[in-house]
Amino acid sequence: MAVQQPAGPDPYFPDNGDARYRVHRYELVLDYRPGPNRLSGTARINAIAGPAPLAEFQLNLADFRIGRVRVDGRQPHYTHRGGRLRVRPAKPLRAGAAFTVEVHWSGNPGPVPSPWGGLGFEELADGALVASQPVGAPSWYPCNDRPADKASYLLSVTAPSAYAVVSGGRLLTRTTKASTTTWVYEQSAPTSSYLVGLAIGRLQTVLLGDPGPGGVPQHGHIPAQLLPRFSRDFARQPAMMELFQELFGPYPFDEYAVVVTEEDLDVPVEAQGLSLFGSNHVDGARGSERLVAHELAHQWFGNSVSIADWRHIWLNEGFAKYAEWLWSERSGGRGAQQLAAAAHRSLAGLPQDLRLADPGRRSMFDDRLYERGGLTVHAVRCALGDDAFFRMLRDWVRLHRNGSVTTGAFAEHVARFADEPPAGLFEAWVYGTALPPLPVLGDRP
């Protein structure tokens, strides 16, 4: 596993995260009441100081009331302003020392502001949903909010018994006591803070296909009235799972779940081991099947293999976009070459001022990044040929499982699978802005 953690603040979100330490594990104990939208929580955070002594550090946390903060059991000095919990331990922490932070907080959770609207914890008409990409995690728990700082999670959530609680990872226990039920989930694989998903609602649970011996358990959690449409729209997800394991390597987590809310969502959102869809994404006619493939592919590209910082987001979205095309190609739809040609035509009529390698914060979710990212992956496939291309993909996922990567690391990786260096490919597609000619499968020198 290769982990590439940037030494300084994220260039797009300098107020989020703290590179002076890393977190090993979060243990979160939450109590949520949907009616008053009331959340109270305790976090136990096991962390390791960086290569320099740590006189202070910060966690990101929205505007909650802080009940208590402890560092290794002792009361530190702390301030909590502007979404940052600044902590100064009673004694500076030694370089490389393991330490534990405990935080108690409570309040009425809501989305945190961003250039794309509110992100993170959202109260629904009857329940709640967490979709945090890229900086919404502090809306509901204290965290070192940087994508490369990946940790394991133990998440315990107590809610009224009429509500199901769904998170990524393995459900360890579900315990009912009087009118409440406590759900405990374990996500043992290292997870970025923004990829901790949560849904609380009146949901029915269904099994998606029979995983069989050694298979991946897949479940859907859906409002009862949407189940007939869901059953058709997600019927081919088990086949997607089989295909993506063939193309990308073994599924990187223990289980996979999808949640559909009663409300519409602008776009589906990935979390680790979990994807979140709106009611508008189930129509009973597989109208959003490409998005089902897209979110599933993120489990490999973005979740298991994560980005070192947000400049490299095309490595998440370009691969997920190309996975849509591969699913279409292998399931009787249009081939990847046809879909690449359509994307190329679309991009040709749009401004050509976006640089994949560093799109800037305002453009990191621009549709052009997704389409050009998919085209770049297609260009790599055309340059390598299918055999080398899919070997390259599987090796990329294997080498960087549970780690974080950069655009430069991917370019170096691709070069190792080319008969000759793919001259100019990355310069044109990733570091340049002008749209290169359409790459064509089989069009190799």
Whole-number Å distance between alpha carbons of 207 and 273 = 15
Rounded to whole angstroms, what are the CA distances from 284 to 202, 232, 233, 241? 21, 6, 6, 20
Q: Token pair for residue 165?
A: 């609680």
Collect all residues with Cβ–Cβ distance below 8 Å to 8 and sequence separation of at least 6: 19
324 belongs to the catalytic site: no
| 317 known member of a binding site | yes
Whole-number Å distance between alpha carbons of 321 and 366 = 13
| 294 known member of a binding site | yes
Which candidate, 207, 259, 216, places its Cα nearest to that of 235?
Answer: 207
Task: State the angle between helix axes of 314-330 and 367-384 in degrees (0 to 180), rounded to the nearest 10.
Answer: 70
The answer to whether 425 and 380 are in contact (CB under 8 A) is: yes
- What is residue 83's three-state secondary structure? coil
In sequence order, what DSSP letters do the residues of 191-222 get, joined into one string?
Answer: E-GGG--EEEES-EEEE-S---TT---EEEEE
User: Which member of 32, 289, 370, 371 is catalytic?
Assistant: 370
Q: In what order do the strands lie in the sheet with 120-124?
A: 120-124, 127-131, 198-201, 164-167
Torsion of CA 282, 285, 286, 287, to 10 degrees: -80
Rounded to whole angstroms, what are the CA distances from 405 to 78, 140, 269, 300? 33, 27, 21, 13
370 belongs to the catalytic site: yes
Whole-number Å distance between alpha carbons of 325 and 375 = 10
8-state DSSP, 303: T
| 77 known member of a binding site | no
Q: Token pair for residue 365?
A: 């979710």
In sequence order, what DSSP letters do the residues of 331-388 get, joined into one string?
Answer: TTS--HHHHHHHHHHHHHTS-----TT---GGGTT-HHHHHHHHHHHHHHHHHH-HHH
User: Which member of 123, 270, 289, 295 is catalytic?
Assistant: 295
Which candidate, 411, 430, 325, places its Cα nearest to that of 369?
Answer: 430
Active-site residue list? 295, 370
Q: Binding site for Zn(2+): residue ranges?
A: 294, 298, 317
**Annotated binding-site ranges:** 294, 298, 317
